Amino acid sequence: MTVPVTPSFRLDGKRALVAGASSGIGRACALALAGAGAAVTAAARRPDALEAVLAELPGQGHDALPLDVADVGATRDAVAAQGPFDVLVNSAGLARHAPAADTDPADFDAVMGVNVRGAYFLAQAVARGLIAAGRPGSLITISSQMGHVGGIDRAVYCASKHAVEGFTKAMAIEWGRHGIRVTTLCPTFIRTPLTEGTFADPDRRAWLEDKIKLGRVGELTDIMGAVVFLASDAAALVTGTPLMVDGGWTAD
């Protein structure tokens, strides 16, 4: 009997577009994909921050793309001009937390405009390029554990991430015949500069560590291995599904 060989986690020869790459999870994803051999196009709204990220990326062939995913027309044009991309990591996101009874319509529209509308049409733009080129690909959206549960003061954010999970399944069904895989990566609370204030509160941190069954908050390195897996041939039969990186939060 032939002994099977483990599929490669390497991404050599692949082009990856990482939206929201200027900081936090997006930056970590860009670093991880570049480390696995991909040529990374780092996209975000702030060109100065992108240049700093480019200087950190290992390997060669990387570039920066100023991009606001909430501007669907500009996003379509940019992806059509720069693509096709073999891998998409959509880490651009927005959160405006408040009690559901106090939700402001402007905040609702802003969150949905980035997390749902922007993510949807960015995935569409990358898929169109792959289909036109006759190439397979991996489209990954950074969702959240909150796309599978509810959370206090997070009704709008939860709604946006539940919507992401829904369109991911539908896109996976439609584009599977083209060899395009569509998945989400769903983190728990990850330590980044934006979350340090939350973790600095002893009561809040104790509550989080109680909810996370492994007893600790997430680190950026917890995301990096997961995103390389989803992007690589090691996940060749994985589509239409989330990868939970939540330390067991949603196991209840």
Domain-located, residue 158: yes
The strands making up 15-19's β-sheet, listed across from edge to edge, are: 63-66, 39-44, 15-19, 87-90, 137-142, 180-187, 242-245
Q: What is the pTM of this model?
A: 0.95
For residues 134 and 127, what is the distance between their CA atoms, to the nearest angstrom?
A: 10
The answer to whether residue 2 sits within a structural domain is no
Q: Is position 63 within any domain?
A: yes
CA proximity to 32, closest of 219, 210, 212, 241 = 219
What is the reported pLDDT for 43?
A: 97
User: Please, what are the averages of pLDDT over each run of 10 residues along the chain (252 residues)?
Assistant: 90 98 96 98 93 94 96 97 97 93 96 97 98 98 96 94 98 98 97 80 85 93 98 98 97 88
Per-position DSSP letters for 220-242, written without gaps between them:
HHHHHHHHHHHHSGGGTT--SSE
Report the alpha-carbon angle 156-20-104, nearest 5: 25
Q: What is the pLDDT of residue 54?
A: 94
Nearest to 126 by CA among 69, 170, 197, 189: 69
Amino acid at site 165: E
Q: Are the CB atoms for 54 and 39 separated by under 8 Å?
A: no
Q: Is 120 a catalytic residue?
A: no
pLDDT tens figures, 192-224 = 877 877 778 888 888 888 899 999 889 999 999
pLDDT of residue 159: 97
Residue 252: inside a domain: no
The predicted pLDDT at position 23 comes to: 93
Cα 79 off chain centre by: 17
pLDDT of residue 9: 97
Number of helical (H) and strand (E) elements in the chain, helices listed first: 9, 7
Catalytic residue among 157, 175, 189, 229: 157
Backbone angles phi, psi at 211, to 5 degrees: -70, -35
Cβ-defined contacts of 106-110 (< 8 Å, 24+): 107/156, 108/156
CATH at 172:
3.40.50.720
Q: What does each C-alpha distance from 200 to 17, 24, 95, 165, 208 come to in angstroms?
A: 33, 17, 19, 30, 12
Model pLDDT, residue 16: 98
One-letter amino acid identity for 118? Answer: G
Amino acid at 110: A
Q: Has residue 9 been placed in a domain?
A: no
Residue pLDDT, tens place only, 133-164: 999 999 999 999 999 999 889 999 999 999 99
* Domain presence at residue 251: no
| Number of domains the chain is built from | 1
Preceding amide of 202 cis, omega within 30: no
Give the pLDDT confidence score for residue 252 in this predicted structure. 82
Residue 184's domain spans which residues? Answer: 15-192+219-244
Residue 180 β-bridge partners: 137
DSSP 126-179: HHHHHHHHT--EEEEEE--GGGTS--TTBHHHHHHHHHHHHHHHHHHHHHGGGT
Q: How far apart are CA 149 and CA 189, in angstroms?
A: 14
Residue 192 DSSP symbol: S
Question: Does residue 198 fall inside a structural domain?
Answer: no
Domain contains 83: yes
